[in-house]
Homo-oligomer: A and B are copies of this chain.
Amino acid sequence: MVTEVLESNYKVEKLYATNSFIIKNKSKFKNNIILSEVTREDIDKASLMKNPQNSIALCALPAQKELPEIIDSDLCIFLDEIQDPGNLGTIIRICDWFGIEHLFCSPETADMFNPKVIQSTMGSFCRVNVYSTAFEPVIKLASKSEVTVLGTFLDGENIYTQKLPSRMLLVMGNEGNGISAEIEKMIEKRIKIPEFNKNTISAESLNVSVATAIICAEVKRQTHFLDLFEMK
């Protein structure tokens, strides 16, 4: 992650690294970097991780990102109060994998700079635009951009038996309570991942990052590969 941060737009204020890290990555250091050569033991003491690597970067917190003027992509996501840092980090990594540029997070969602979030992004936090914002400006932006607002609900339509809209804002709700009542009112299309387990007692739900990934995969499958098939 440190090498990814060095190559990103983040401002690395200080870099603490072992001799071997410095030799290997020297070419990535920008001119104004403040570098301290330290030992592995120093890093073990300073790091929040159980098995830290051979460097620690101290970065300036970037300014809050302004919302984009317009949404110009097939899929973007709004997180309504995702509390678990591991879930947020995993969702940022999913956005990076699927090329989802914009991730909007309600003010109640976990802080993206929480160390557990950063760690579970596996470096993806350098590449995804994460905005902390209320829902209202986002829904205005969606409407201006002709983007359909989707949310997952138990009574939603099966994502596998329909052609999804070509431009979507996907709302994912809180781990325990789902999408809040206020935001639910503004959802234009209710969808769901169908249950496949025929036993009467089975998992009631999927983890929110897992559900996000399954929906993103289906959206991208439809965008990229649906023309290989024809609906009967």
Q: Which residues of A contact B (CB under 8 A)?
A: 7, 86, 90, 93-94, 96-99, 120, 122-124, 127, 158, 160-161, 193-199, 201-207, 209-210, 213-214, 217-218, 220-221, 224-225, 227-232
Contacts and interface: CB of A to CB of B under 8 A. Distances in A.
A99 B213 contact: no
A220 B196 contact: yes
Contact of A86 (B86, B97, B122): B86
A199 B115 CA distance: 26
Sorted nearest first, the 7 A-B pairs with minimum C-beta distance are A99-B197, A96-B203, A229-B229, A97-B203, A160-B225, A210-B213, A196-B220
B122 A203 contact: yes
12 contacts: A96-B197, A96-B203, A97-B196, A124-B203, A160-B224, A161-B225, A196-B220, A213-B214, A217-B218, A218-B221, A229-B230, A230-B230
